[in-house]
Structure 1
């Protein structure tokens, strides 16, 4: 079994390497907000994200993303989830997902325009499925631990 030990900090992604990413899920008036990006070399709908600097505080990294992408217009910033993804051929990403409650729709800029989804709607964005995005927007649990299959008792620990 291979353990998740990290090597020395690198300037970029390395084959077979690992990194910690911080993602922001902006929510405005109960609706998912993503960004239509048209920067050189990058197009499509994105959530704010970054690879965390070595030794950085995840909350401070998420707050900096909120300042940069959302103009700092947030009333709450909280951990929504922690996920693990394969990256490239044999790399690994540990994703720290933060939910950001927006107080206003971000203004955007020349290369990124905010897109507000209808209530209860989401598309797959980056590595995230719509069901997960909606769960984070609505602050729902990953599953209902008290629910039982028909004809069985609920699982209680």
Structure 2
């Protein structure tokens, strides 16, 4: 099965064209190579809760992405609001995935405990917040990659808990 994946980068500098989005490239490669997914939408927005929220809604509802991955805006900075925007559009959370990502990150760097990313469900879309740096993105996405197909089957309504 080819999963439809949307990618949202939250970055003030990226939105102004002042920074190359290297984390998005890492995500794109992992999704295509490890998950067999197809990127159906990609955009960069500033660290503004309303813009992040609107993009998440459009990606889940209009593009009907099976998986929406965000990068950036998950730290402790005043402008880091991606988790809050995600929770505003979420119907349910998937805390175990976020916990697994933090645990994997802490094996390399104890500072990963400051990562505030969440995983949630909106409709039939799984939304996963990732950090903004390429190393963190790779590490944390790989921490859940083996469970993404099962999660996507369940969220899509194709799979059943007892089947997996």
Q: Pick the TM interval, shorter chain.
A: under 0.3
Higher relative contact order, structure no. (Cα contacts within 8 Å, ≥ 6 residues apart) = 1
Please give the TM-score of this superposition, normalised by the length of structure 1. Answer: 0.27
Please give the TM-score of this superposition, normalised by the length of structure 2. Answer: 0.26
Work out which of the two has the higher radius of gyration on C-alpha atoms and give 1 or 2.
1
User: Which structure's residues are more often helix, by fraction?
Assistant: 2
User: Which structure's residues are more often strand, by fraction?
Assistant: 1
